[in-house]
């Protein structure tokens, strides 16, 4: 009887010990899964931030509205794989989704997303040349109407703007149009909520005052004073704090903002996009041996706007279902 009782006690004890072992293992497994889930969540958050840091401007600009593109997966330390998607919600708004999954257990994952906004300038379609002061032309001046067929490529729609727009009371060539906005500070300093100083801080190319260079191609270029373009083919957004002088054969596609006005002293200056000339009493002067050709191009303006933008998070991260 004693032996039987001892066996019963040992059996009960063994059962309790086994139950305790399995319960502890289950708790350990739960803690492990929870810890791994937290790790995956942290990886997803890191990749959400990296999505903005590694923003491919050219690819996103070319992405069709209301479309979703899968980016290349990212392997993280041999323990996780991150899948990534970018959806273009509108012209300036995107949705980024990242999904971090455990390479050893596909049931463990963490999904995170956020809305991203291209914080870009917006330039009003007032004219091909917008001048705050007089536009004095001793040489040649030609203007071309916007190419409505080409504008279809950037969904600009029908565009009808004058060639030369001036502030009320300013003197200009035949066909120039007076518009009140041409006399406003904001036309030359504030572009859809983005200031000229903010854009100057984004410049990839910075030039000292008095620089003489060939035409520049850049997302944003900034001259800290006067600037002379001696020739060449330029594109993008060019900000000139002082006066802009064009002394040779220059073509430019995009937007130029010249705080000290524009002087075309020689050669031919072909501007496709938008030229904003603030200056003083004489905002623009075309000398007798020079030519100025103006063509408002909404696609060139949009391209300059977009490439001068910076991607920011427009919302707090969320955890949606991955595409």
Q: Where are the domains of the chain?
A: 2-120+309-313, 129-307
Residue with tokens 């309790």: 16
- Which pLDDT value is given to residue 35? 66
Q: Which of 64-68, 83-87, 103-107 has the lowest mean pLDDT?
A: 103-107
Contacts of 66 (CB under 8 A, 6+ apart): 87, 88, 89
- Which pLDDT value is given to residue 234? 97
Bigger pLDDT: 148 vs 184: 184
Q: In whole angstroms, what is the distance from residue 145 CA to residue 49 CA?
A: 44
How do beta strands 140-144 and 290-295 pair? parallel
- Which pLDDT value is given to residue 59? 93
Would the pLDDT of 178 be above 80? yes
Nearest to 148 by CA among 130, 160, 139: 160
- Assign 318 a pLDDT band (cuts: 50, 70, 90): low
Would the pLDDT of 241 be above 60? yes
- Assign 6 a pLDDT band (cuts: 50, 70, 90): low
Would the pLDDT of 34 be above 80? no
Termini Cα distance of the chain = 68
Would the pLDDT of 11 be above 80? no
Contact 98, 111 (CB under 8 A): yes
Mean pLDDT confidence for 151-172 = 83
Mean pLDDT over all residues of the chain?
A: 87
- Which pLDDT value is given to residue 181? 96
- Assign 157 a pLDDT band (cuts: 50, 70, 90): low
Would the pLDDT of 302 be above 60? yes
The 10 Å CB-count burial string (b at 16+, else e) for 280-299 is eebbbbbbeebbbbbbbbbb
**Widest Cα–Cα separation across the chain:** 126
Would the pLDDT of 183 be above 90? yes
Bigger pLDDT: 37 vs 5: 37
Would the pLDDT of 177 be above 70? yes
Mean pLDDT confidence for 27-53 = 75
Would the pLDDT of 82 be above 50? yes
Task: Label residue 68 left, alpha or beta by phi (over 0 means left) and psi (-120 to 50 means alpha).
Answer: beta
Contacts of 218 (CB under 8 A, 6+ apart): 203, 204, 205, 235, 236, 237, 238
Question: Quick one: DSSP state of residue 113?
Answer: E
Would the pLDDT of 270 be above 50? yes
Q: In whole angstroms, what is the distance from residue 107 CA to residue 281 CA?
A: 71
Would the pLDDT of 266 be above 80? yes
Nearest to 236 by CA among 306, 166, 293: 306
Mean pLDDT confidence for 189-206 = 96
Would the pLDDT of 12 be above 90? no
Mean pLDDT confidence for 80-103 = 92
- Assign 31 a pLDDT band (cuts: 50, 70, 90): very low
Contact 255, 237 (CB under 8 A): yes
Contact 262, 246 (CB under 8 A): yes
């Amino acid at each position: 009887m004693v032996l039987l009782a001892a066996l019963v006690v040992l059996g009960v004890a063994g059962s309790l010990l086994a139950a305790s072992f399995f319960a502890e293992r289950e708790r350990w497994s739960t803690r492990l899964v929870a810890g791994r889930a937290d790790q995956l969540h942290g990886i997803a958050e890191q990749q959400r931030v990296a999505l903005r840091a590694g923003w491919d401007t050219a690819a996103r600009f070319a992405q069709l509205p209301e479309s979703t593109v899968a980016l290349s997966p990212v392997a993280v330390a041999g323990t996780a794989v991150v899948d990534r998607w970018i959806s273009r919600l509108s012209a300036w708004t995107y949705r980024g989704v990242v999904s971090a999954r455990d390479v050893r257990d596909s049931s463990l994952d963490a999904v995170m997303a956020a809305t991203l906004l291209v914080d870009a300038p917006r330039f009003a379609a007032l004219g091909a040349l917008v001048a705050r002061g007089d536009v004095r032309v001793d040489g040649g001046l030609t203007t071309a109407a916007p190419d409505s067929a080409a504008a279809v490529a950037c969904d600009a729609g029908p565009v009808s703007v004058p060639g030369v727009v001036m502030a009320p009371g300013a003197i200009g060539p035949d066909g120039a149009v007076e518009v009140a906005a041409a006399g406003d500070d904001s036309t030359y300093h504030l572009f859809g909520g983005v200031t000229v100083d903010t854009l100057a801080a984004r410049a990839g190319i910075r030039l000292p005052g008095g620089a003489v260079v060939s035409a520049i191609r850049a997302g944003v270029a900034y001259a800290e004073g006067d600037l002379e373009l001696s020739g060449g083919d330029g594109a993008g957004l060019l900000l000139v704090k002082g006066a802009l002088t064009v002394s040779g054969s220059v073509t430019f596609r995009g937007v130029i903002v010249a705080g000290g006005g524009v002087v075309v002293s020689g050669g031919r200056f072909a501007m496709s996009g938008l030229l904003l000339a603030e200056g003083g009493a004489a905002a623009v002067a075309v000398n007798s041996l020079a030519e100025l050709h103006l063509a408002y191009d909404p696609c060139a303006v949009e391209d300059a706007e977009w490439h001068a933008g910076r991607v920011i998070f427009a919302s707090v991260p969320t955890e949606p279902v991955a595409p």
